[in-house]
């Protein structure tokens, strides 16, 4: 089936610049262009597939933002191309380089602001009374703004400590609240609970609520970024567990064991590499969850498209070709020899 809508173009797959969403099966040598309007899978001609399938496989493995099930994977290239991969997923790798740049940029921004704040303090100490009063008013304003909303997120429906939380309600955190946030180990996912005490209220967040609260609080506590050494140490913590999701399940218990003297649980007291690693892992998990929401729909569409593709390819290929692909489909050299022959 072929739709009548424009399929768009891409500048990423040089050998096949058609389409903004490409689906490919490296084992069977199939390539589809998926219409982003009607969602139909358009099978490409045999002679246009070989180099494009190999290029899609390389791009899929190199794309940092991706999610996979046992049958299908989805990746979004930074140029906007979406890749749908059929078959057993490749080994999952954590895209660490994305976060190193982010934290170093924060560090540079903080370093640039520090001399300004120091200079303001010296100016206040040496200023004449009228100027001192003006600066004092500014300081009071900044202190008041410290109580303003620094972060907010939606939570589920339940009683959270002293605060009644309705379904879909939004909980807000001031900068003062952020400093009081604590994380303690938990026996259920995500491996921790989040406690807050501030401005006459207290709350405990568990499960998905704990994950959401931590994901908005940690960037505020990590505003100063991190040095290259701190970022490398954070990456080492995640890689020691093998995967960001597994790291989240063990990060808070591991930190509690390493720092037995500090039983307060305050996130601000955690080692910087641990705080950075928690932010990385939470952000990575959020992106993966967003991608996984599309995978079920894609898998159903692929099964229908594969039936049609199998019939179409059998009409053009000699008998036994499918069996050849089953045995040698992942061997790039075999595909190249078949294509050349």
pLDDT tens for the chain, residues 1 to 341? 456 778 889 999 999 999 999 999 998 889 999 988 878 889 898 888 889 999 999 999 888 767 777 788 888 888 889 999 998 776 555 555 567 667 878 888 777 765 545 555 555 555 555 554 554 555 544 444 445 677 778 776 443 444 444 445 778 888 888 888 999 999 888 899 999 876 667 888 998 889 989 998 999 999 888 888 888 899 889 888 888 888 999 999 998 888 877 778 899 999 999 999 999 888 877 777 766 666 767 777 888 888 888 887 777 666 665 566 566 554 444 444 444 44
DSSP 44: P
Please, are residues 184 and 212 in contact by the beta-carbon 8 Å criterion? no
User: Which positions ≥6 away from 135 have C-beta within 8 Å?
Assistant: 120, 123, 124, 127
DSSP label at 241? Answer: H
Query: For residues 326, 331, 336 and 338, what is the CA-based torsion angle, rounded to 10 degrees?
Result: -30
d(CA 20, CA 165): 42
- pTM, two decimals, is 0.56
Predicted local confidence at residue 160, as pLDDT:
41
The CA distance from 279 to 272, in Å, is: 11
| Cα distance between residue 50 and residue 57, in whole Å | 11
**Please, are residues 283 and 215 in contact by the beta-carbon 8 Å criterion?**
yes
User: pLDDT at position 288, please?
Assistant: 72
Read off φ and ψ for residue 264, nearest 5 degrees: -70, -30
Placement of tokens 């036994």 in the chain: 320
Q: Give the neighbor-by-neighbor strand order of the sheet with 21-25.
A: 41-43, 30-34, 21-25, 82-86, 72-76, 66-68
The per-residue pLDDT for 67 is: 74
pLDDT recorded at residue 10: 93
């Amino acid at each position: 089936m072929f739709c009548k809508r424009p399929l768009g173009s891409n500048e990423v797959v040089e050998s096949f610049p058609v389409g903004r969403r490409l689906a490919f099966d490296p084992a069977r040598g199939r390539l589809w262009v998926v219409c982003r309007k009607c969602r139909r899978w358009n099978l490409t001609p045999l002679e246009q597939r070989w180099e494009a399938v190999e290029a899609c496989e390389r791009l899929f493995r190199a794309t940092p933002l991706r999610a996979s099930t046992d049958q299908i994977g989805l990746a979004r290239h930074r140029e906007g191309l979406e890749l749908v991969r059929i078959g057993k997923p490749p080994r999952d790798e954590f895209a660490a380089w994305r976060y190193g740049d982010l934290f170093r940029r924060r560090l540079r921004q903080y370093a640039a602001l520090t001399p300004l704040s120091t200079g303001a303090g010296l100016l206040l100490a040496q200023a004449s009374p009228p100027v001192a009063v003006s600066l004092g008013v500014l300081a009071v304003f900044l202190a008041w703004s410290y109580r303003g909303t620094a972060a907010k997120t939606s939570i589920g429906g339940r009683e959270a400590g002293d605060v009644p939380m309705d379904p879909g309600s939004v909980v807000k955190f001031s900068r003062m609240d952020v400093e009081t946030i604590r994380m303690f180990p938990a026996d259920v996912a995500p491996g921790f609970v989040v406690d807050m005490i501030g401005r006459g209220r207290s709350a405990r967040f568990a499960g998905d609520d704990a994950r959401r609260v931590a994901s908005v609080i940690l960037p505020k506590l990590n505003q100063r970024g991190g040095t290259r050494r701190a970022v490398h140490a954070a990456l080492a913590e995640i890689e020691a567990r093998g995967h960001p999701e597994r790291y989240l399940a063990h990060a808070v218990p591991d930190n509690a064991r390493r720092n037995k003297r500090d039983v307060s649980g305050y996130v601000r007291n955690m080692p910087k590499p641990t705080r950075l690693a928690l932010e990385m892992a939470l952000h990575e998990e959020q992106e993966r969850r967003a991608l996984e929401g599309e995978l079920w729909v894609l898998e159903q569409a692929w099964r229908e498209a594969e039936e049609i593709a199998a019939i179409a390819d059998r009409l053009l290929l000699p008998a036994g070709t499918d069996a050849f692909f089953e045995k040698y489909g992942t061997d790039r050299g075999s595909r190249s020899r078949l294509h050349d022959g």
